[in-house]
Structure 1
Amino acid sequence: MTPDATAPDEPEVAESRLLNGRVRLLQPVRGYRAGMDAALLAAAVNARAGDRVFEAGCGVGGALMQIAARRPGVHLTGLERDTAAAELARRNARLNEVAERSLIVTGDVVGGLGPLASPRFDWAISNPPFFDDEATLRAPAPGKRGAWIADDGLAAWTGLLLKAAKDGGRILMIHRADRLADILSLLGEKAGSFTILPIQPFADQPAKRVLVQAVRTGRAPLRLLPPLILHDRSDAKHTLEAEAILRGDKALEL
């Protein structure tokens, strides 16, 4: 990876290749970088051409750019409070030639949707920060703090997704497995028809992540899917299924 030229006051960035080279992503050399969670979130967005997808906390656009590559004709909107990350997301949209169907807005989750509030979206997705309280973990590096610490709590993120999704629209989150009860309770105020995909590091270990899909105003029974296993005990980095998802050869059907 060759560092991208930057102005002196901009973070140093480098280009990563995702989905077997189909996506080019500029990311900071130091700080938070889009990884497995963004890839899984994008793989689970089974949007159709013409659908409008909103992501709360889009960062540099790691998930949005993968959705764009997987789902031609989908319109993408991202909300990101970090101005440098938001600008990188705009650059990534241009780099991947999807700027004409992408909109990146600088703003905070607590600030709400503002001018984005109408019309509401077919999909409202997020990979929220995993922790509400810095006392619960070793302090993250300054460049990673915004990605790890939800200053306003999980309720602010679920509340924004509920406001963003239209009736019948889908809400999709990836988060810590031990917050599943909280996610179901918070989203259950206005959404239902839950589908849950546990994500296990190994087949013999508990899930550490969950993908949760809900339908705004949905009433269907909850569905708990067989888990996605990321690694096995061979020398391979990922299981065949996980590798196919990362290459873009497979989607997650929730």
Structure 2
Amino acid sequence: MTGQAEQDTQTAPSTTETHLLGGRVSLRQPAKGYRAGMDAALLAASVAPKAGERVIEAGCGAGAVLMQIALRHPQVSVTGLERDPFAYELAVHNAQANNVADRAHIIHGDVANRFKALNLPTFDWAVSNPPYFDDPNTIRAPAEERRGAWIADHGLKAWTEFLVKSVREGGKIVIVHRADRLADILSLLAPKAGSFAIRPVHSFADEPAKRVLVQATKTGKAPLRLLPPLVLHPRTGPKHTPEAEAILRGEADLAF
């Protein structure tokens, strides 16, 4: 992630240290493989929990989203589920390094095993940036260290089912994903969730949206809302638009 005076410095042979939210978050993450970027910032900015509420992230990786939520909302507790052992250890480290270990619970587990297996009470918010592809044959094979972040071995359905099961009635679900999977996301969530709010995310104002942020409410019945788009980059000038830059620095949110 750029545009927020961040610097990467080598901390170990296999990791680097990155600073997010204008330096408020210190994130140790893999030097190779999946690295947190704009999607993590957008997802974290789309969560608006009240004091005392609980947030779970499915597939938390090294904890980029969780750490940003925890720093944005000091009176909220966060839980992350991560199946990759290395990413899990990094998330545990990052919770300690950012002084939020007392309200950040990292679990080593897989969404495919279902929420019930965690033996946890339901949450107020469930968020995720699921892997973007279900079928490895549809894309050029990613490097092995990136595979888990790119390929959903059990399909998008496993992720949406986990998210729905993990929240209470009236709880919120937030997903960032490819824009061309929007219909799939809505159809998978619709049996148990509604009151959809959709925000298209455009790289440039004159290009189609490549990402969407989708918020749903468990058992919600309100009409679908299509929100104003977020444009990330201008054609000339700074790297990011003022709105995107403010989100990266933690100075603005993406309230639904």
Q: Give the alignment's TM-score, normalised by structure 1.
A: 0.96
Q: Determine the C-alpha separation between the residues in 2 that align with 1:119 and 1:30.
A: 35
Q: What is the alpha-carbon distance in structure 1 between the residues aligned to residue 68 and residue 58 of structure 2?
A: 15
The secondary structure found in structure 1 opposite 2:132 is coil
Q: Tell me if the contact between 2:199 and 2:212 (Cα under 8 Å) persists in the aligned partners.
A: yes
Q: Please give the alpha-carbon distance, in whole angstroms, between the structure 1 residues aligned to 2:182 and 2:107.
A: 29
Q: Name which of 128, 145, 148 aligns with 2:147.
A: 145
Match in the other structure for 2:137 = 135
Q: CA deviation at 1:116?
A: 3.5
Match of 1:53 in 2: 55
Q: Deviations over 1:177-230 (max 9, x none)?
A: 000001000000100000000001111100000000000000001000010000
Q: Which residue identity lines up with residue 43 of structure 2 in the other structure?
A: L
Alignment of 1:30 onto 2:20: no
> For residues 86-125 of structure 1, what are the structure 2 equivalents within 5 Å?
86-114=88-116, 116-125=118-127
What's 1:8 paired with? none
CA distance in 2, matches of 1:247, 1:43: 10
The alpha-carbon deviation at position 113 of structure 1 amounts to 2.3
User: In the TM superposition, what whole-angstrom CA distance separates every residue of 1:108-161 from its partner, at most 9, and x where no partner exists?
Assistant: 111122454431000011000000011111111111110000010000000000
Q: Which residue of 2 aligns with 1:216?
A: 218
Name the structure 2 match of 1:242.
244
- Specify which of 150, 154, 157 is matched with residue 155 of structure 1: 157
Secondary structure at the counterpart of residue 175 of structure 2: strand
* Alignment partner, residue 232 of structure 2: 230
In the other structure, the counterpart of 1:69 is 71
Shift of 1:73: 1.2
Q: 1:4 aligns with which of 11, 14, 23?
A: 11
Partner SS, residue 41 of structure 1: helix
Correspondence 1:169-188 to 2 at 5 A: 169-188=171-190
Task: Tell me the CA shift for residue 2 of structure 1.
Answer: 2.6
Instruction: Give the alignment's Cα RMSD to 1 decimal.
Output: 1.0
Partners of 2:185 and 2:114 in 1: CA distance: 19
Aligned counterparts of 2:252 and 2:166: Cα–Cα separation in 1: 27
| Paired residue type of 1:25 | L
Alpha-carbon distance in structure 2 between the residues aligned to 1:78 and 1:116 = 11
Q: Which amino acid aligns with 2:173?
A: I
Runs of 4+ in structure 1 off by over 4 angstroms are: none
* Distance in 2 (alpha carbons) for counterparts of 1:83 and 1:13: 14
Q: Find the partner of 1:42 among 41, 44, 67.
A: 44
User: Which amino acid in structure 2 is aligned with residue 141 of structure 1?
Assistant: A
Q: How much has 1:3 moved relative to structure 2? A: 2.0
- Report the AA paired with residue 138 of structure 2: T
Aligned residues: 249
**Paired residue secondary structure (2:209):** coil
- Contact between 1:117 and 1:164, CA under 8 Å: does it hold in 2? no
Code of the residue aligned with 1:228 in structure 2: it is L
Aligned partners of 2:9 and 2:18 also within 8 Å: no
Amino acid at match of 2:84: D
Q: Deviations over 1:67-125 (max 9, x none)?
A: 01111111110000001101100000000000000111011111122454431000011
Paired-residue identity, %: 63
Aligned partner letter, 1:185? S
SS at match of 2:40: helix
Q: Does 1:85 align with 2:87?
A: yes
CA distance, structure 1, for counterparts of residue 182 and residue 224 of structure 2: 13
